[in-house]
Amino acid sequence: QVQLVEFGGGLVQAGGSLRLSCAASGRTFSMYTMGWFRQAPGKEREFVAAMSWSGSDTYYADSVKGRFTISRDNAKNTVYLHMNSLNPEDTAVYYCAAVFDDGYMVSDFEYDYWGQGTQVTVSS
């Protein structure tokens, strides 16, 4: 069982940056693929970024590639999402997710554990 708690959301102006953090419970954090998803009002939840358990593989949605970076610190049981050049289209609730597996995990149904979400609002 893994519990996830996100931190770092907030209000930022277009062009600004934010860093989201997701703290995970459990002693086997390093064996989980970690992902970030987001859901904007009136839209379905969508994949943002993922990192394999080893950290050697990362995956990004085309809409955030080159602007967002996912990273993890297994010693701190934490995964991060560094977001730069934010624009109003990035406004959404951002969710951290985990799955006890490795591989190309970019669909929400592949993840077993979810955080409560943190709101990111980008003003124009």
Which of the two residues, 30 and 38, has the higher pLDDT score? 38
Kindly report, residue by residue over 61-115, the tens digit of the pLDDT: 999 999 999 999 989 999 999 999 999 999 999 999 999 988 889 999 999 999 9
Residue 96 CA to residue 20 CA, distance in Å, equals: 9
Residues 6+ apart with CB under 8 A from 10: 18, 119, 120, 121
Return the pLDDT at 88.
97
The residue with greater pLDDT, 50 or 55, is 50
pLDDT at 122: 98
- pLDDT, residue 65, reads 98
Half-sphere exposure of 14 (CA within 13 A, CB side): 5
- Mean residue pLDDT across the chain: 95
pLDDT of residue 124 exceeding 90, the answer is yes
Q: How far apart, in Å, are the Cα atoms of 14 and each of 80, 112, 123? A: 20, 33, 6
Burial pattern 44-78, b for ≥16 Cβ within 10 A else e, equals ebebbbbbbbeeeeebbbeebeeebbbebebeebb
